Amino acid sequence: MTAIGSPTEPAGRKRTAALTLAALGVVFGDIGTSPLYTVSTCFSDYTGIKPTTDNVLGILSLITWALIIVVTLKYVLVVMRADNHGEGGVLALMALVLQETGLSERRRRIYMMLGIAGAALFYGDCLLTPAISVLSAVEGLNVATPDFAPLVVPISIGLIVGLFALQHFGTTGVGRWFGPIMLLWFIALFALGAQHVINHPQVLAALSPLHAIEFALRHKVAAFVALGAVTLAFTGAEALYADMGHFGRTPIRLAWLGLVLPSLLVNYYGQGALLLVDPTSLENPFFRLAPRWALYPLVALATAATVIASQATISGAFSMAQQAALLGLSPRLRIQHTSASEFGQIYVPAVNGLQMVGVVALVLAFNTSSSIAAAYGIAVTGTMLVTSVLMLGLAVRGWKWGWPAAILVFGFFIAIDATMVSSNMLKFFHGGWVPLLIAAVIFMAMWTWLKGRLAVAVREKERAVPLDALLSGFDSSGWHRARGTAVYLTAFSDNASNCMRRNLIHNEALHENVVLLTVHIADEPFVAPQTRREVADLGNGIHRVLLRYGFMEKPDVSHDIAGLTDSGIPVDPEHTTYFIGRNSIVGGDRPMLPRWQQRLFLMLARFAISPGDFFGLPANRVVELGGRIEI
């Protein structure tokens, strides 16, 4: 047994180690750069908390137990059990809950709204994270000399614009460096904090939760306000769940428990020890941990780490856009795959451009990382609250937990998340309205698109004609049968394509082989190859085909149509024509949406690319037939 198993065990350990290193570079960038600004924000003018011994120990204790309860217990041990065929994230979780049978239409609508709200809040976080991360790193130059102060914003904007400009090249090459750089970053975090903890070990008393409790009882309202700053310590926790499909549970858990959590805690305690002996270090306690000679290298390393953290949110926004488009929650956008071998390496030009403009606007509007920190946290905690509520629904309906157990576990997490959200809502007039406004606009757009698509589907179904009824109305002996194969895309598998109907009415012509194709996006990330196609022979050279794709897959319709030869349908790619309806959607006399929502849907529809482009059909073999739909 040992001889047989020994060659594979080292290989398995080597693969796990490689995945763990890669996870450091993608998953932990955001939470790993939180020490740059968390402690200084906790003792800022916003909280009004002074860096006395009791307050420093109280804040450190709050940070410690927030990382243990919110990140370790909730995400690492519980939430990461909810994998949708290996995939995580709020939309994947929403789809997982919607798969459960017996859901009423009302409950489905509620879960759908929760998922969309979580995605919208995530987009708000994707704008704030690059802005605060890059600014906080470049601000380290101010520790060396105040002469750098006027250059902080221009340098930050230059880094941000350069980062977004490189996105169309993909991150395959740069990504190889992400893991090693973040490994060096976490080692630096540990080393910087350890020397101060060793010199002042009394700071370790903050490991006791009693200090957090005493701090809360002593300060009451001020402690509640401080929770909004403590939130900064675990921004990026959602990434552990969202990126689970890329690395798996085990590497992420190993990286968190073995390196990331210890490094973060030691660095936070080092900053606390520094404040105990030198309260004047509060202006930038992170960079003051370092000796003078190490300042510039540390600024360079911090800048690299924050760029990596920003890259993670940018890539996350691309993935979320792809999922939303395939789930029918947003218009179909142009998606470019930047790597032939690496899964998930995509580039969405529209999202990239909008995100860059938004991040630069935030940097110009807030100017400093401390100002952005005042607005940060609402989107993060909001997404966490949505995740907890969806997890409660999954535990009861999917995992078949009893209500007492589900409420005991997830009610506890919901209570903590709700407290964090409430604390961060105090930031509303200090800039907290910004991520809420971004999330509200995105939620309204996604909900409108969903309702608009349903309205279009209703109108198309009203005009649809059953295939049998259509064929029986024509004398098939008079049809002209053109050479090759015609593929008609249709949304309804029981009806004839409108394009096919027009061909018969106006030309009385059909191809030798006709495929009525319906593309279905499932509520799961991937579809097994053996269940990809469903084929039915309708006679007279006509076949109905259903292609299924997961919401994490890139539909490759032309490839799967070519594979129909295995099902007995003679398909020659050079003699195959795809017929697609190009509908013009307009407002009608019988509006199915409120006027404002109708206008918004029509505006969003202008940004949608054609089905042919989205499904990757060969442009020289696509025929688009226009139609008019009134909603």
Q: Is the pTM of this model over 0.85?
A: no
* CB 287, CB 75: distance < 8 Å: no
What is the C-alpha to C-alpha distance for residues 329 and 321, in angstroms, rounded to an integer?
9
Rounded mean pLDDT of 123-149?
83
Type of residue found at 326 = L
Domain ranges for the chain, please list them: 18-431, 459-630
- What tens digit of pLDDT does each residue of 481-528 get? 888 899 998 876 667 777 887 777 777 778 888 899 999 888 788 888
The pLDDT of residue 3: 40
Which backbone phi and psi does 578 adopt, to 5 degrees? -105, 125
- The region, left, alpha or beta by phi > 0 then psi within -120 to 50, assigned to residue 33 is alpha
Taking 70 as the threshold, does the pLDDT of residue 383 lie above it?
yes
C-beta neighbour count of 150 within 10 angstroms: 8
Query: CA distances (Å), 367 to each of 31, 75, 142, in order?
Result: 22, 33, 14
Question: Which residues, at least 6 apart from 41, have a Cβ–Cβ distance to it below 8 Å?
Answer: 47, 229, 232, 370, 373, 374
Rounded mean pLDDT of 14-20?
83
For residue 140, the 8-state DSSP code is T
What is the C-alpha to C-alpha distance for residues 424 and 422, in angstroms, rounded to an integer?
5
The pLDDT of residue 6: 41
The pLDDT of residue 172: 55
Question: Which residues, at least 6 apart from 81, have a Cβ–Cβ distance to it below 8 Å?
Answer: none
Rounded mean pLDDT of 25-47?
88
Rounded mean pLDDT of 342-352?
76
What is the C-alpha to C-alpha distance for residues 290 and 45, in angstroms, rounded to an integer?
25
Contacts 24+ apart (CB under 8 A), 586-589: 586/628, 586/629, 586/630, 586/631, 587/630, 587/631, 588/630, 588/631, 589/630
- Of the candidate ranges 92-96, 235-239, 294-298, the one whose mean pLDDT is the lowest: 235-239
* CB 441, CB 95: distance < 8 Å: no
* CB 125, CB 316: distance < 8 Å: no
For residue 353, the 8-state DSSP code is H
Pick the CATH number of 18-431 from 3.40.50.10800, 1.10.3720.10, 1.10.1740.10, 1.20.1740.10: 1.20.1740.10
Is the pLDDT higher at 606 or at 173? Answer: 606
Taking 90 as the threshold, does the pLDDT of residue 60 lie above it?
yes
Type of residue found at 23 = A
The pLDDT of residue 115: 92
SS3 at position 485: strand
Taking 90 as the threshold, does the pLDDT of residue 24 lie above it?
no
For the packed helices 378-397 and 90-98, what is the interaxial angle rounded to 10 degrees? 20
Is the pLDDT higher at 270 or at 319? Answer: 270
* CB 610, CB 455: distance < 8 Å: no
Taking 70 as the threshold, does the pLDDT of residue 458 lie above it?
yes
- What tens digit of pLDDT does each residue of 557-596 get? 998 998 888 888 888 888 899 988 777 777 666 678 888 8
The pLDDT of residue 174: 55
- What tens digit of pLDDT does each residue of 202-255 get? 999 999 999 999 999 999 999 999 998 999 999 888 888 888 877 788 889 999
Question: Which residues, at least 6 apart from 229, have a Cβ–Cβ distance to it below 8 Å?
Answer: 38, 41, 42, 44, 46, 47, 373, 377
Contacts 24+ apart (CB under 8 A), 507-511: 507/480, 508/474, 508/478, 508/479, 508/480, 509/479, 509/480, 509/481, 509/482, 510/479, 510/480, 510/481, 510/482, 510/486, 510/541, 510/542, 511/481, 511/482, 511/483, 511/484, 511/485, 511/486, 511/541, 511/577
Rounded mean pLDDT of 109-130?
90
Looking at every residue in the chain, the average pLDDT score rounds to: 86
**Residue 173 — very low, low, confident or very high, per pLDDT cuts 50/70/90?**
low
* CB 164, CB 236: distance < 8 Å: no
